[in-house]
Structure 1
Amino acid sequence: MGACLALLAGVDAQAQEAIEGLSAAQLFDLADARRDAGSADDALALYDALARDPDADVRAEARYRKGLTLADLWRFSDAAVAFRALLDEKPDVIAARLELARMLAALGRESEARRELRQAQAAGIPPDAAPMVERFAAALRSQKRFGGSIELALAPDSNINRATQARTLDTIIAPLTLSEDARAQSGLGGRAVGQAFAKLRLNDRISLLPRFAGLANVYGDDRFNDISASALLGVEWRGDADKVSPSVGQTYRWFGGESYARTRTATVDWVHAVDARSQLVTSGSASKARYEKNALQDGAIYDLSLSYERALSAATGLSLATSVTRQTANDPGYATWAGGVTVAGWRETRWGTIYASGGARRTEGDERLFLFPERRREWLLTARAGMTMRAVSWAGFAPTVRVSFEDNESTVGIYDYSRVAAEIGVVRAF
């Protein structure tokens, strides 16, 4: 314990000497007394020291009490980090998982909060934990009014424009030679993703929900910069086991510094709790797209998706998603039907969350494009894996690493491509 106390930040040398001979239980009593006396900083310093103890049970108890203290100070993000650190080492501590769910709910990260509850249910909630479940439910009913997230990353990519590697393409007239920038280009880019929301309660079950989001992929060659921004205004209705969120909005996209497309969208999302360990998410949307450079692509986009998510244990879970999309266009050669399925899984570890997914999607064109001999028929195969490393988080930012693979086999050469990409960055919710 002496080596541990030498790391006790925030407590002066005299105080360290006075408590050098105390046991872990006595240090917990001292920390609790300082907390109850209003000296939260002293208590947190003692909990941090105890969190370095060689005994795993002592470390877990210290992190749990630290999380509770931070929650009482309304430092919900810091409290969530403390509870997550505990669960990374001991995923079966139900009380900590329920408290983490409560913190996530207070931060407005409801989907993550519900996932933690399902993980707890998968491990089994004892009867004496029922009051915590009620606290969690109460937290979900009183959502954070404002929030969001931001992610910044370096993004090496073997095919930043998702273009074919072929030099020539067969057409009904003659072989078409592609320019260099029309072929696959590799590059190192920067990626920024952000979103913000507000929940303005109208009554106990209904809230007004404005949302804003942005995505930017930028490269040294600005011809391939891809930037989009969207704004949605919705209404959220909450039932005991359901949440329904209709919304309307608009998305703008710029490519290479020029306006590429504008899309008006109406969406409906329905989240249904199937049981204590699983949920069903249904989403539908109808959009009207206008393409600035090619009016032949203008048309409507209809999308319907269904996903099922289930917690397998306190540390693992799986999801299965399927979707179908219909896109119309002024030129039937650009009109398509598409459908696919994705399987994903995740596992909590002492270092963070590991996740992986794989999917397949089929696309069929209504008719062939004028220049090409066949109508569009293709298979898109995708695979992704990554990790969010909460164990080395700083100031609320957690490092994240992702690797992805795409292979699109198409009968139309301009749509035939493959790519391998990575993202190395940090993510933070606020």
Structure 2
Amino acid sequence: MTLRRLSWLGLIPSLCLHAPLEAQAQAQPPAGSTPTVSQDARSISGLNAAQLFDLADQARVAGRLEDAETIYRALARDPDLKVRSEARFRLGMMLDEQGRQTDAALAFRSILDEEPGATRVRLELARVLAAMGDESRARQQLRQAQANGLPPDVQQVVDRFAAALRSNRRFGGNFELAMAPDSNINRATDAKELDTVIAPLTLDEDAREQSGIGLRLSGQVYARVGLGQGLTLVPRLSGDGTFYRASQFNDLSGSALLGLEWQRGRSRLMPSAGVTWRTYGGKAYARTETADLRWTQRIGRRAQSDVGFSYGQSHYNRNALQDGALYNLSAGIERALSARSGVGIQLSGTRQTARDPGYATASGGATLLGWRDMGRTTLFANATVRRLEADARLALFPERRKEWFLRGSVGATFRQIEVAGFSPVVRLAYERNISTVGIYDYRRTTMDLGITRAF
């Protein structure tokens, strides 16, 4: 089923944004009016909103798209909410027809900031996001659209839309850039000495807690190759790095994965395999050959579950005693509470083997998350608790490693500021690792000041 136009899905009139205004826009100028319009349609006077909509629509049909865009953008600043929402909606639809999907997504997002219950707009945004390759956010928009309940006939249309939704973009990617002040860039203890089975161990400065301001870059690129009905081949490259003036603390990781996506009804299976690597201080730190299987399932109309299992074989360049297998199992669910908000929970367990049982660990934990749109600002928060235990004690330390890891973060995206489709995002996080082995015991406070997609 094609998703190029929601109207092709048979959307009923109740999904129109502002039907009365659309009817007004088709009206002719009243008798006796004397509007004046310059040749390039940039100077207009003597026209009401409905007449301006009619003029813009005529320009669009005639192929004068720049003139139509000028009028729509002027109407998008109208003090009347219905007028500016209608203008943004028509502008978004026209921009999408031109292939300007980022601009179209921004137009639809600006409507939802003021009218979160505008179902038709949210569905169009979902369609555009899927066309851009951002299927995860597209499906989140669908869950939000259904959070407040829909009439049965409309719900049937949206169900068909959700079942047909998938990204057909051949190539894509995303990235995020941030300045990252950090109170503990090396996740190290602040202790000067550690107790060992031999004698107190004095730590040098580089082995202790270090603060700094880094530049954080993360992103990925991918391709999609259709193999058949509901089956897609997806090669993917991704990377994440934080860079400091003191280059010995630079932390860079990346992965190259080859995966498949198979979708049937409400379910998607996504197996993948490849290699991940990490460098620290400009030197190779670890490499892992990995295989992964992920399963997502729509639950009802406003929730989605996500279950994943991965296996890897890790090789540590600096300490071969850490080499071993890595197993991870995770399960989570995300639910839209309303058109403005949502929550989620994720449970996970990890088992890491090693040549030295002191480095072999088992851990498990839970993460709670939530978000809420407040006008043109999106607030989000999450909290994590995790327990870890080692198989045996390390030879140098008197106790077996046992830890509680606690982390909380809050942040916001500010769409009031938008440049080239990106808006500022701020995150503040605090983490505490409480360990029986002093070298692993630390506190850390971080702040990210960056940019992310505005929609």
Superposition TM-score, scaled by structure 2 size: 0.89
Structure 1 runs not aligned, ≥5 long: 1-10
Aligned to 1:229: 254
Structure 2 runs not aligned, ≥5 long: 1-35
Moved more, 127-136 or 402-411: 127-136
Query: What is the letter of the counterpart of residue 318 of structure 2?
Result: K
With over 3 angstroms needed to count, the CA separation of the structure-2 counterparts of 1:163 and 1:50, relative to structure 1, is: same
Aligned to 1:150: 175
Counterparts of 1:343-422 in structure 2, within 5 Å, are: 343-422=368-447
Query: What is the letter of the counterpart of residue 40 of structure 1?
Result: L
In 1, Cα distance between equivalents of 2:265 and 2:107 = 30
In 1, Cα distance between equivalents of 2:170 and 2:161 = 17
Match of 2:329 among 298, 301, 304: 304
In 2, Cα distance between equivalents of 1:70 and 1:424 = 30
In 1, Cα distance between equivalents of 2:338 and 2:376 = 18
In 2, Cα distance between equivalents of 1:135 and 1:198 = 26
Counterparts of 1:236-255 in structure 2, within 5 Å, are: 236-255=261-280
Aligned to 1:339: 364
1:267 aligns with 2:277: no
Query: What is the letter of the counterpart of residue 191 of structure 2?
Result: A
In 1, Cα distance between equivalents of 2:221 and 2:160 = 26
Contact 2:423 2:454 in 1 (8 A): no
The Cα offsets for residues 43-69 of structure 1, whole Å up to 9 and x where unpaired, read as 111111111111112111111111111
With over 3 angstroms needed to count, the CA separation of the structure-2 counterparts of 1:193 and 1:21, relative to structure 1, is: same
Aligned to 2:139: 114
> What SS does the corresponding residue of 1:123 show, helix, strand or coil?
coil
Equivalenced residue count is 420
1:282 aligns with 2:312: no
In 2, Cα distance between equivalents of 1:352 and 1:86 = 13
Q: CA deviation at 1:237?
A: 0.5
With over 3 angstroms needed to count, the CA separation of the structure-2 counterparts of 1:17 and 1:115, relative to structure 1, is: closer
Query: What is the letter of the counterpart of residue 19 of structure 1?
Result: I
Contact 1:28 1:47 in 2 (8 A): yes
Moved more, 93-102 or 24-33: 24-33
Moved more, 420-429 or 34-43: 420-429
Q: Which has the higher contact order (CA 8 A, sep 6+)?
A: 1
Contact 1:95 1:129 in 2 (8 A): no
Query: What is the letter of the counterpart of residue 368 of structure 2?
Result: V
Percent of pairs with identical residues = 54
Counterparts of 1:16-55 in structure 2, within 5 Å, are: 19-55=44-80
1:82 aligns with 2:107: yes
Moved more, 391-400 or 297-306: 391-400
Query: What is the letter of the counterpart of residue 151 of structure 1?
Result: E
In 2, Cα distance between equivalents of 1:124 and 1:29 = 33
1:58 aligns with 2:83: yes
Contact 1:368 1:375 in 2 (8 A): yes
With over 3 angstroms needed to count, the CA separation of the structure-2 counterparts of 1:34 and 1:195, relative to structure 1, is: same
With over 3 angstroms needed to count, the CA separation of the structure-2 counterparts of 1:138 and 1:307, relative to structure 1, is: closer
In 2, Cα distance between equivalents of 1:159 and 1:429 = 30
Contact 2:42 2:70 in 1 (8 A): no
Q: CA deviation at 1:19?
A: 2.7
In 2, Cα distance between equivalents of 1:30 and 1:128 = 34
Contact 1:235 1:246 in 2 (8 A): yes
Q: CA deviation at 1:139?
A: 6.1
With over 3 angstroms needed to count, the CA separation of the structure-2 counterparts of 1:212 and 1:34, relative to structure 1, is: same
Q: CA deviation at 1:353?
A: 2.1
Q: CA deviation at 1:391?
A: 2.9
Contact 1:169 1:177 in 2 (8 A): yes
In 2, Cα distance between equivalents of 1:201 and 1:340 = 37
1:214 aligns with 2:239: yes
1:164 aligns with 2:194: no
Query: What is the letter of the counterpart of residue 189 of structure 2?
Result: T
Query: What is the letter of the counterpart of residue 81 of structure 1?
Result: L
Q: CA deviation at 1:25?
A: 1.2
With over 3 angstroms needed to count, the CA separation of the structure-2 counterparts of 1:371 and 1:31, relative to structure 1, is: same
The Cα offsets for residues 155-181 of structure 1, whole Å up to 9 and x where unpaired, read as 000000000011111111111110001
